[in-house]
Amino acid sequence: MKKSTKNSAKSANPREIRRKRGLNQQQFWPSIGVTQSGGSRYESGRRMPTPVRELLRIVHVEGIPLNHVRGDDHALVQYLKKNRPGLYRELKASALRDRKSRK
């Protein structure tokens, strides 16, 4: 398991993330509100804005459907990461175990 998915999303090429998921550009990019042509530019090296990078991380690295994400949820996650990192890791691990047991 990766230590920090946020760091891996920042450092990994979006093309690598997409290919690891086994998706083509038309399947991958629209799920975070980016056109296929816009996604192609990001994959070719164009700077990706922070909000797009965060959506990519949330949806394609963390595996959280975009329709399940709310602004206050994001703020809570950021608070926990910064102020209660142990609790954040514990909750994240528990959620991942729960998700795996449902499959």
Q: Which of 87, 80, 79, 56 is nearest to 69 (CA)?
A: 56
Structural contact between residues 44 and 38, judged by C-beta atoms closer than 8 angstroms: no
**Average of pLDDT values for 27-47?**
95
Radius of gyration of the chain (CA): 14
What pLDDT is stored for residue 93 in this prediction? 85
pLDDT of 90 strictly over 60: yes
In whole angstroms, how far apart are CA 54 and each of 6, 73, 97, 102, 103?
8, 13, 23, 26, 26
**Average of pLDDT values for 32-56?**
93
**Average of pLDDT values for 91-101?**
82
Structural contact between residues 6 and 62, judged by C-beta atoms closer than 8 angstroms: no
For residues 57 and 79, give the distance between their C-alpha atoms in angstroms, rounded to a whole number.
Answer: 17
